[in-house]
Structure 1
Amino acid sequence: MNFKINKSTKIYISGCGGMLGLAMYNLFSKLANVKATDIDVNEDWLTYADVRDMESIKASINEFDPDVIINLAAITDMELCEKESDNAWRTNSLGSENVALIALQLNIPHVYISTAGIFGGEKEFFNDFDTPNPLSVYAKSKYAGELFVKQTLPKYFVVRAGWMMGGGPVKDKKFINKIYKQLLEGKTTLDVVDDKLGTPTYTVDFAKGILALLESGYYGVYNQVCPGSCSRYEVAVSFIKQLEMENIININRVSSDFFSKEYYAPRPQSEKLINMKLIARNLLVMRDWETCLTEYSLEYKQNWNSR
C-alpha cells in the first residue's frame, strides 16, 4: 500500500518534543493534519501523552483516529539510560510496544525510529541486513522496541538514524550543541574523541526521508543517515570551521578513555551505517553530512552573532 500524503491525511507523532520532532512537525504539518504529543509540552503545537502509560497514549491516539503513527518517543541520553534503566526500558521498549499495538489495532502504517547504536562495532560499516549486537542499556532497549515492531506489525517502517544533528541551540541535546555550549562558556580549547566513528544524520533530511518512505509503501527496515562517515573529531573541526573560529579555537584529539568517567555507557568503536536499501529502491534523500552540517551551522552562526 502506498498513498500520497495530503491535507486530509491524519498523522499522529508521539514523542515529538525533541530535536527530531521539531523537524518532523515542521515538514508534516505543512502537508497533513498532524497531532503531535510528548510528556514535555514545550511548544504550543504539542499536547500531553505518555507512551509508557497505555491508557494515556491509547486515548490520545484513538481520539485523533490517525492514518499513520510515527513514534519518536525515547530516552536517548545513554548515561541516563544506564543510571535509570527501568525508565529506559519502560520508555524505549514498553512504550514502543504500546504505540505499536495501537497501530496494529487500527491497522495503519507505523514508523519506529531506531538507532545505529544497536550494532556492536565488530566491523567498520553496517548495512540494513547486518545482525545487531547492542552494548548499552540505550541500545538494548531501542533494539527491543525494533524487534517488537518487526515481529508484530504487518505495516511498519523501522528507520535507523546515526549521530543526530538538528533542532538548533534550544532543542539539540547532542554533540553539536555540546560543542557550542563550551564556546558560549568561553573555552578556547576543546577536547574531542577521535576513536569513535559514525554517520551524522540531519533531522531536516531525515524527516523528508520518512515522507518518501511512507509514500512509497515499501515497508521494512531501513538505515537512513547522511552519506559519508567521520569521527567525532572531524565533526568538531568542520563545525568550528563553519563558525569561522578555526583561528581562535584549538581542538585536541583525545581517546574515549579521556571521558570515561563522564561518558561511561558502552559505545561501539564504529556505528557507521550504509543506506543500502534506500539506494537500491531509489528513496535516498539524505545529503552528505558536510553539506548538512554547513546548512545546520548557520543556525549557530546566527545565534552566536545575536548574543
Structure 2
Amino acid sequence: MKKKIYIAGCGGMLGEAFYAQFKEDFDLKCTDKDVNETWLSFLDFRDFEAYKRDVKAFAPDYLFHLGAYTDLEFCELNADDTYNTNTLAVENAVSLANSLNIPILYISTAGIFDGKKDLYDDWDTPNPLGVYARSKYMGERFVVENAQRYLVCRAGWMMGAGPAKDKKFIQKLMKQIKEGRKELFIVNDKDGTPTYTHDFAKTVKELISKEYWGLYNCVCGGQTSRLEVAQDLVKLLGKEADIKITPVGSDHFKDIYFAERPPSERLLTKKLDLRGVNQMKEWRQALAIYLKDYYAGYL
C-alpha cells in the first residue's frame, strides 16, 4: 500500500516538481486556491476549518505545506495578508499535523538572512529584513519549536516549471529575451544560490525515506550572483553575440523592487552533505537541464 501525502499550496512552480517526483511512489492529494492543473483540487489553506476537514478526510501519512506569498513587494504592501498566509496558516498546519501524529514539511527561504555574511550554513541565526522574510522566518520557527516531526527545507533562488509558472529571475530574463531585448540590465550586488525545483523535491524524498527529520539548507551546488547567472543563461542560449549584459546596482530597479533584499543569500548544504543525502546538482548543470526540459522552442 502506497503512503499518502497531502500537499497544500501545490499550484506553483515548486508544487509542479513535487507532483512529478512523488506521484509514482505515493498516493497524493494536491490542493491550491488556484486550480490550474487536472491533478489539483481547490483549497484555500488560510481557511483552517476547511483545511482541517480536507486533510482529515484524506488521512495522509505526511502533510506538505508548500504555498506562500513570495513576491517581496506585494508582501511589503500587504503585511496582514502576508502574515495570515505565510505565518498563521503554517501554525494551523503544524497543529493539524500534530493532531494526526504525522510529519510536516515546510518550505523556508535563504531570504531570512540579512546578508552580512557571505555564506550561511544550517546553523546560522537568521535576521530577516522585510515583511516577506519575517513572515517566512516566523513560520520556520513555529515549525521547529512546535511540530512533533518536521522537515524544514530552505530554498534559494528558485527555478522550475517553465514559462507557465516560473515567476522568478530565469523566466523574467527569458521573457525579455523572447520580446527581443538586446540589452539586459542585471544587478551586480546580489549573491545567492539557485535552486532547481526537481532536485529540491528529490532531496525531500530522500530525507523522508530515511526519516532524517530536521532543518536543512536545500540549494544547488556552487555559489554565484545574479550577474553570473544571467551571463551563464545567455551563454547556454548561444546568444552572447546578440545580447549585451550591463551590470547595474540594485538602485537601478528601486522603483520596481523597493523591498529590502540581503546582499548575500548564499547557503551551504552542510547538513545534507554530512548525512549523504544531497540530491542537488551544481547550479550551472541544473540551469542547463531546466532550459532544455522547459524552454525548448520557447524562443
Structure-2-length-normalised TM-score: 0.98
Counterpart secondary structure, 1:135 = coil
Q: Is the 8 A contact 1:192 1:252 kept in 2?
A: yes
Amino acid in the other structure paired with 2:64? I
**Match in the other structure for 1:279:** 273
Paired with 1:299 and 1:240, the residues of 2 have a C-alpha distance of 17
Of the three residues 286, 289, 292, the one matched with 2:286 is 292
- TM alignment of 1:1-307, pairs within 5 A: 8-299=2-293, 301-305=295-299
Counterpart secondary structure, 1:272 = coil
> Percent identity between the aligned chains?
50
Which segments of 5 or more consecutive residues in structure 2 lack a partner in the other structure? none
Paired with 1:195 and 1:114, the residues of 2 have a C-alpha distance of 23
Aligned length in residues: 299
C-alpha offsets along residues 248-282 of structure 1, whole Å, 9 cap, x if unaligned? 01110011010111101110000100001111111
**Match in the other structure for 1:3:** none
Counterpart secondary structure, 2:89 = helix
Q: Is the 8 A contact 2:9 2:15 kept in 1?
A: yes
RMSD (CA atoms): 1.0
- TM superposition outliers: structure 1 runs of 4+ over 3 Å: none
**Match in the other structure for 1:4:** none
Which segments of 5 or more consecutive residues in structure 1 lack a partner in the other structure? 1-6
Structure-1-length-normalised TM-score: 0.96
How far is 1:304 from its partner?
2.4
Paired with 1:250 and 1:30, the residues of 2 have a C-alpha distance of 43
How far is 1:226 from its partner?
0.4
Amino acid in the other structure paired with 2:171? N
How far is 1:73 from its partner?
1.1
Paired with 2:189 and 2:143, the residues of 1 have a C-alpha distance of 33
Counterpart secondary structure, 1:221 = strand
Counterpart secondary structure, 1:211 = helix
Paired with 2:148 and 2:181, the residues of 1 have a C-alpha distance of 51
Counterpart secondary structure, 2:96 = helix
Counterpart secondary structure, 2:6 = strand
Counterpart secondary structure, 2:76 = helix
Q: Is the 8 A contact 2:162 2:295 kept in 1?
A: no
CA change 1:102–1:261 in 2 (3 A) is same
